[in-house]
Amino acid sequence: MDEVKVGIVGLGNVGMGTLTILAENQEQIALKLGFRLRVTAVCSRSVESKKLPAALGPVFQTTDWRELVKHPDVQIVAELVGGTVVAAEILDAAIEHRKSVVTANKELMAASGPEIWDRAIRAGINLAMEASVCGGIPIHAVLREGISGDRVMALYGILNGTCNYILTEMEKRNVPLEVVLKEAQRLGYAEADPSADVDGYDARSKLVLLAALAFGEKITPSDIFMEGIRRITEVDFRYARQLKHSIRLICGARRIPEGIILSVRPALIPASTILAGVQGAYNAVWVKGEYGEDTFYYGWGAGALPTGVAVVSDLMRVAREIRSGSPERVSPFAHERLGGNKPVPVTLQKRCYFLRFRVDDRPGIIAKLAGILASKKIGLEAVLQEPCDTKHDLPFVITTEETSEQSIREAVEEMSGLDFLNEAPLALPMETAL
Ligand code: HSE
């Protein structure tokens, strides 16, 4: 049986998970392919300290990725180092040496994936990136091929496992975000610097990639409205529950007549929806097609083995193409050419809103807030207030009738100057139509 030869750059969690699968599952993989996928080279800054699975057999080991990329016994390079600087150099070098690339790198692909794909096409090689979004969910394959005959109208994702773990623990245990974040850091679910996750950057890079696949647009990450989860409190979950809703960090993408509207933000979602059932560090993507209507994808968003499966499956796909010499590659962005339309401003979005206030209590507060809402033509739906021991930091909630994000922003801006507020109002959209 002939073989296709693979070099792996980066032996962190995902790299080691990938090697484990390639070693332990090699018979299954060979049965599916009809030939062997063999790891011929690995590269890591600490390669000497890595224990490679014995079943891989002899493997060239180096600390210099350049040696691996140009090694004559490497046909596919798996770039699993992350970051954007060295990773970009590795991809450039692989393309220059006409070697196909499998990558798990969402930041790099979100920032410059389409340009890298153009170069890959010109070099006659392939570029695969299933592991870059929702490690354990084959969402690229679904959008690229599985439902490519449909016209995606909307996509809603829970794309950051760390945030989902934090939010669902807060909800279950009625504890503050800082407590759960510290636990998550201790358990290794959250980084020491949690900003990429809790402030929304990680989810935003993933949404850039899914929006390209779903809608064929090349989106600049900073053009997506992004709000993290730091302001969510356990009190918000209690009020959301009274409204039969839950709170999740939702990556939303929708076609509206004016274009595509994109956002990464905490939102209220009905407790009865399938997305609200997504607990812990799981990810999920809900796609609404014009013809096929609703499909839902669920699984681990990260982790050595789930993400390793995505890398190995990409390696298998690329290896098949190498063996068959197929010139008909499907773009990793699901479209031959991406458009350059900017997303529509989120201020056009119309929703009901959940407004949470923390106030130093005194008479006339509701009247004042209601007056500001009325001046923006925003109708009140409900006022909710739990019994509270203190008058000095009293939380309560107003929900509104459907209005535009623009009107809500103007109202929140005006309210923020009021002296009885302990902090600016928190405004969350209610995704009641999910
Ligand atoms: N930190 C990410 C998450 C996993 O929590 O989902 C890698 O993208």
Instruction: Calculate how far, in angstroms, residue 333's C-alpha sits from the geometric centre of ligand 1.
Output: 21
CA 264–ligand 1 middle distance (angstroms): 14
Q: How far apart are CA 20 and CA 24, in angstroms?
A: 6
Predicted confidence at residue 175, as pLDDT, reads: 98
Q: What pLDDT does 149 receive?
A: 97
Q: Report the run of H or E that residue 77 belongs to, with start and end.
A: strand 76-79
Ligand 1 nearest atom to the CA of residue 165, by list position? 5
Atom of ligand 1 nearest to the CA of 133: 8
DSSP code of 132?
G
Structure token digits, residue 341: 């339309």
The answer to whether residues 237 and 170 touch, using CB atoms and an 8 Å cutoff, is yes
Residue pair 218/115 in contact by the 8 Å Cβ criterion: no
Enumerate the β-bridge partners of residue 5: 38
Residues 416, 358 contacting (CB under 8 angstroms): no
Question: What pTM was estimated for this model as a whole?
Answer: 0.95
pLDDT tens digit sequence for 189-202: 889 999 999 999 99
Nearest one of 158, 159, 182, 160 to 170, comparing CA atoms: 182
Q: Is the dihedral of CA 224, 146, 284, 102 positive or negative?
A: negative
Q: What is the DSSP letter of 347?
A: G
**179-230: per-residue pLDDT in tens?**
999 999 998 888 999 999 999 999 999 999 999 999 999 999 999 999 999 9
* Closest ligand 1 atom number to CA of residue 189: 5
Span from the CA of 8 to the centroid of ligand 1 (angstroms)? 21
Closest residue by CA, ligand 1 atom 2: 160
Q: For a ligand 1 pocket test, name from 109, 158, 162 the mutation site with the most ligand atoms within 8 angstroms of its C-beta.
A: 162
Summary mean pLDDT of the chain: 96
Whether the Cβ atoms of residue 407 and residue 377 lie closer than 8 Å to each other: yes
Q: Which residues, judged by CB distance below 6 Å to any ligand atom, belong to the binding site of ligand 1? A: 160-162, 197, 202, 301-302
Phi/psi at 201 (5° precision): -65, -45
Distances (CA, A) of 34 to 17, 28, 31, 210, 320: 23, 10, 5, 32, 9
Residue 387: its pLDDT value, please? 84
Calculate mean pLDDT across residues 162-168: 97
**Cβ–Cβ < 8 Å for 171, 199:** no
Separation of CA 132 and ligand 1 centre (Å)? 10
Q: Which of 14, 160, 298 to mutate to test the pocket of ligand 1 (most atoms within 8 A of CB)?
A: 160
Q: For 313-348, how does the pLDDT look when each residue is reduced to its tens digit (9 = 90+)?
A: 999 999 999 998 876 678 999 999 999 999 999 999
For the question of residue 206 being annotated catalytic, the response is yes
Average pLDDT over residues 30-56: 97
Q: What is the mean pLDDT of residues 146-164?
A: 97
3-state secondary structure of 247: strand
Which of 206, 350, 368, 391 does the annotation list as catalytic?
A: 206
The number of residues in the chain equals: 434
The first and second tokens of residue 190, run together, are 């959250």
CA of residue 206 to ligand 1 center, whole Å: 10
Q: Residues near 239 by Cβ (< 8 Å), separated by ≥ 6?
A: 354, 356, 384, 386, 395, 397
